[in-house]
Structure 1
Amino acid sequence: MSRAKPGQDEGSITAGSDFLQLDIADAPPGGRADWLAAQLRLAMSDGRLPVGSRLPATRVLAAELSVSRGVVTEAYQRLIEDGHVAGRGRGGTVVVAVPISVPEHTSTSLSTTDMFRSTPGNEIFDSYRSAPARYDLSPGVPDLAAFPRTAWLRAERAVFNSLEPSAFGYGDPRGTPAMRIAVANWLARTRGIRADPSEVLIVAGVAQALGLLAQVLRTDGITQVAVEDPGSLGVRQTLVNCGLETPPVPVDSAGLRVDSLVASGVDAVMMTPAHQFPTGVILDGERRRQLMRWGGLIIEDDYDAEHRYDRPPVPALRAMLAENVCYAGSVSKLLAPALRIGWLLVPSRYRDAAVAAKRNADLGNAALPQLVLAELMASGELERQLRFLRRRHIRRRDAMIAAVRTHLPCAVVHGAAAGLHLMITFDADFADVDLAGAALSRGVKVQPLSWHCQRPYRPGLIMGYAANPPSEIAEGVKLLGQVVRSH
């Protein structure tokens, strides 16, 4: 019997697989799992592995490649986290979504040039979302692959098993009673807000909440709503499109500058106090006390309040100033934007007008998704989902921070303690819109900080980490580093 080891004689079989003609010799030392995951993604993108294809069993592919089973398992797990494949038990591991792939080196097209001009128009986010990118690091995008499908279907069955025929008709424009009760309980448990369910107005996300509020405030004679600077371009566009002026108020390390707000003379302000977008700072205690003394109307977008990692929770402004705060929140970042379910609480003097605006807009949100979400919230599944997401987001955030330190050592990281994105700034003299455009041409999608500034600010980028596995985050930031060095 021959005692020769594989590769020692002419009759030995080279480690390789008929499946996709994979040759483990092509993998870099210490990076076999990364290499295998990349090869599988490429095969999905170019059509060799269409949706519905079944991958080989991990034991089988490991034997064909002469690697440990752990290498294959790790590669498959990265694809599962990415939302490209799913484990189906005895049905094996199946391709469920094809990743978007773009050439790594493409010239900047006219559309990209238009997209990253210095004064983006109303269509900017439609163009931005539709632009293909190999590494999509867009801020504000949750982990869509983590949507709790099984729990949602279980809640759906529970709802339909007890649903009365009357539930299929037109309902209360404020929202279903079950949803308003669930939101009131959720806000009491997680945000310290005491609200009766009758005070809760169910809306189609924070964007609709802002549109409804704009109508109500204009009727009340308010034509200006101050906004944070830097602050969300999308929020600013929504308010402007609704006929309101948006004078900027600077933000520093303690949050919105209340002294500047007072000096502006406006009667209302739009804020993200729990996790300021995009800087990530928290409105500190002294600034909160200053707001109480100011006495104007506050529109509070409780942006990313649940997604905190390295700091204790901070109370919502609504919990302290109910009659001075219009409070808006949603499940878009916690579950999925596709649900289009959010909530709005307004001071009592505006409640009837807000309900009337909602009724005139659409007669109320679709009732059936509300009932399913209410069941999900009442059963505790939403809190379990939040705990799961926090663990996953921490790993992805840490991967992005590590990649920035390695590939962008000149950048300063902001807002790492909470949220779904990082802001990085540079002590340099260049246009961040040019940098973002060049990055997109290399297949990396990020947002320039200047989009979200009304006044001059140092150049920077805003990068989301929630929707990507650590390996793709690292690769995307590595490419971004190459773009920065070329600038």
Structure 2
Amino acid sequence: MGRSRTNSGPAEDLLIELNRDAGVPLHRQIEASIRASIRAGRLRADASLPPTRTLAAGLGVSRGVVVEAYQQLVAEGYLASRSGGYTRVAASMPPAAGAAAAASVAPPSARGAGFKVDFGYGRTDVSQFPRAAWLRSVRTVLTTTPNDRFAYLDGRGVPELREALCDYLNRVRGTSSVPGNVVVCNGYGQGISLLIQVLVKHGARRIALEDPSSNDDARVLAGAAGLDVVGIPVGPDGVQVEALHRADADAVVLTPSHQWPTGGVLSAAARAEVIRWARRRGAIVVEDDYDAEYRYDRSPVGAMQGLAPDHVVYCGTASKTLAPGLRLGWLVLPPRLVADVAAAKLLADRGSPVIDQLTFADFLARGEFDRHLRRMRPVYRRRRDALLDALRAHLPDLEPAGVAAGQHVVAWLPPDLDEAAVVAAAARHGLGIHGLGPFRIAGPGPGGLIFGYAILGEPAIAEGVALLATAVREVRGL
């Protein structure tokens, strides 16, 4: 077998293997490796390459070998030389096919390119992220954290964050949580993935989801894990509990404080009935508390987890309150699930980034999270009010629902309007908006539109509703 050498120094940033027994000149091997990396998108356009001396030292070859490889790639148009001897990937290189494919499944925050106004859902105004306060917490962490916190920890997350989360959730959301039952994860997506793995391990065979529901993560992951997925109809006040009794499910995923997308709030009687169902079946209730901090016109509704901590998994994240890019989430688990979920977390990624966890813990403990929420509630409320005013003025026959909280509103369409036709007409007029159809599990239902307003200013909201009114007139042939 030929002897090979792979550069591993921190300066090189290239993975190149040289086989000195291959009968291929070394400069050709370097050329081929860099060329393949550019074509595959591992080296993006305008990325800087290591200096020839540095790369030569890392590979154990003469500088002339690397110079010859770089010169050939410059001649072919893959690389470009800059003054001062810097070499970069040519800026004119097209994106790799894999990168283009990834762009076609952009997350919610990236949707809507090309629209005049986009009422895309699931977004928060990241321009309002409290950078100065966050930076103060970062500095505190870097200057005061003991060294051992930067080593490998157990799968539950750093103790400081678990303690701070319990203090906050017990005070604000009415949970009954203790630090030992908390597992920190990378957002809701990872949290539900870990949980489904553990539920299957514990013998679960069927999971129930609200219908309609935003839980695409749960639906896809449950199916991939071999679970049957059943939809439970949602009414004006949330999930219809009588249908849950007939579902023969081992777990149910709910958004009881502000059902997504319809906005219903599960009543106290219905919550008690869900808990009775869970206790009778030995089932698990997964409580997705995705935007409970943003309440405008109603009294706070406590978390279900506080009613039955042995049967309810509480899921929370910083995605809707701070920024989804932080990838901070948490599960408050029944004691019997903690060890297995923590083990699944360790197996997945060896734990979430320690500095981010400690920063958020300090941010919570200082009261900065509370201050940020107090600052953002009136901002989102003004945007919601602007949306409701515009709907009353331009489209009075649309019926808004779920307006008392959150960052989106659903508007039910009158019977003469086809949901898909309205969405398509809106797009032709430069308006991005989603209907409820894609979020239904059991099939068609009443038509409705989802208005995400969190990142839009009041003038843009008014313009968007005016565009929608034009699209509706077109659908009606007026």
Bin of the TM-score, shorter chain as denominator length: 0.7 to 0.9
**Alpha-carbon offset, residue 430 of structure 1:** 4.5
Matched, 1:207 2:207: no
Residues 172 and 338 of structure 1, relative CA distance in 2, 3 Å threshold: same
Post-superposition shift, 1:127? 8.6
Letter in 1 for 2:370: E
Name the amino acid aligned to 1:253.
Answer: P
Residue of structure 2 equivalent to 1:339: 326
CA shift, 1:124, in A, is 5.6
CA spacing shift, 1:163–1:205, aligned 2, 3 Å: same
Instruction: Describe the SS at the equivalent of 2:403.
Output: coil
Instruction: Give aligned pairs, total.
Output: 365
Are 2:354 and 1:377 equivalent residues in the alignment?
Answer: no
Q: Does 1:287 align with 2:287?
A: no
Matching residue within 222, 228, 235 for 1:245: 228
Among 396, 413, 419, the alignment partner of 2:406 is 419
1:171 positional shift: 2.4
The answer to whether the aligner puts 1:196 opposite 2:183 as a matched pair is no
Secondary structure at the counterpart of residue 298 of structure 1: strand
Cα distance in 2 for residues equivalent to 1:269 and 1:436: 31
Contact 2:187 2:327 survives alignment (8 Å): yes
1:257 aligns with 2:245: no
State which drifts further: 124-133 or 230-239.
124-133
Change in CA separation of 1:403 and 1:237 when aligned onto 2, cut-off 3 Å: farther
1:225 is paired with a residue of what secondary structure? strand
Query: Does the alignment pair 1:185 with 2:173?
Result: no
In 1, distance between residues paired with 2:424 and 2:224? 26
**Which whole-Å deviations, capped at 9, do the CAs of 1:448-479 have from their partners, x for residues lacking one?**
11111123211111111111111111111111
Aligned-pair identity (%): 39
The aligned residue for residue 272 of structure 1 is 255
Alpha-carbon distance between aligned partners in 2 of 1:238 and 1:391, rounded to the nearest angstrom: 36
Structure 2 residue identity aligned to 1:260: A
Q: Are the equivalent residues in 1 in contact too, given 2:112–2:118 (CA < 8 A)? A: no
Query: What CA distance in whole angstroms lies between the structure 2 residues aligned with 1:302 and 1:423?
Result: 18
Q: Give the Å deviation of 1:353.
A: 0.8
Q: Which residue of 2 aligns with 1:465?
A: 453
* Residues 350-373 of structure 1, C-alpha deviations (whole Å, 9 max, x = no match): 111111110100011011111111
**1:281 CA drift (Å):** 0.7
Q: Which amino acid aligns with 2:317?
A: S
Which of 288, 292, 311 aligns to 1:324? It is 311
- Measured in 2, the distance between the counterparts of 1:468 and 1:264 equals 40
SS in 2 for 1:226: strand
1:328 match: secondary structure: strand
Distance 1:126 1:420, change over 3 A: closer
1:152–1:376: 8 Å Cα contact kept in structure 2?
A: yes
Query: Separation in 2 of the partners of 1:161 and 1:441?
Result: 54
SS state of the match for residue 323, structure 1? coil
Rounded Cα–Cα distance in structure 1 between residues aligned with 2:109 and 2:323? 19
- 1:358 to 1:378, Cα distance in 2 relative to 1, 3 A: same
Worse overlay, 450-459 or 361-370: 450-459
Contact 1:231–1:277 (Cα < 8 Å) also in 2? yes
Matched residue, 2:351:
364
- Alpha-carbon distance in structure 2 between the residues aligned to 1:422 and 1:311: 15
> 1:11: which partner in 2?
none
Following the alignment from structure 1 to structure 2, what is the Cα–Cα distance between the partners of residues 346 and 360? 18
**Distance in 1 between the 2:419 and 2:220 partners?**
20
Aligned equivalents of 2:130 and 2:109: distance in 1?
Answer: 27
Letter in 2 for 1:363: R
| 8 A Cα contact 1:280 1:414, kept in partner | yes
Q: 1:142, 1:127 → 2: CA distance?
A: 10
* CA gap 1:270/1:125 in 2 versus in 1, 3 angstroms: farther
Q: CA deviation at 1:241?
A: 3.8
Output the CA distance in 2 between the equivalents of 1:441 and 1:385. Answer: 38
Determine the C-alpha separation between the residues in 1 that align with 2:110 and 2:421: 18
In the aligned structure 2, how far is the partner of 1:248 from the partner of 1:227? 5
SS state of the match for residue 455, structure 2? coil
Matched, 1:313 2:300: yes
Decide which of 334, 339, 352 is 1:352's aligned counterpart: 339
Structure 1 unaligned spans of 5+: 1-122
In 1, the alpha carbon distance for the partners of 2:358 and 2:192 equals 24
CA shift for structure 1 position 335: 0.1
TM-score, normalised to structure 2's length?
0.73
> Residue 474 of structure 2 aligns to which amino acid in structure 1?
S
Partner AA of 2:451 in structure 1: M
Look at both structures and tell me which one has the larger radius of gyration over its CA atoms: 2
Shift in Å at residue 253 of structure 1? 1.9
| Runs (5+) with no aligned partner, structure 2 | 1-103
| Contact 1:233–1:451 (8 Å) recurs in 2 | no
- How far off is 1:198 after superposition? 1.3
Q: Using CA pairs under 8 Å that are at least 6 residues apart, name the structure with larger relative contact order, 1 or 2.
A: 1
Match of 1:61 in 2: none
Of 229-238 and 366-375, the range deviating more from structure 2: 229-238
Instruction: Find the residue that maps to 1:270 and give its secondary structure.
Output: strand
Q: Is the 8 A contact 1:325 1:346 kept in 2?
A: yes
Residue of structure 2 aligned with 1:436, choices 423, 429, 437: 423
Deviation at 1:263, TM superposition (A): 1.2
**Matches for 1:22-421 after TM superposition, within 5 Å:** 126=107, 129-132=110-113, 133-235=115-217, 236-294=219-277, 295=279, 296-421=283-408
Instruction: Give the drift of 1:418.
Output: 0.4
Residue in 1 that maps onto 2:82: none
CA contact (8 A) 2:108 2:123 kept: no
| RMSD across aligned positions (CA) | 1.7
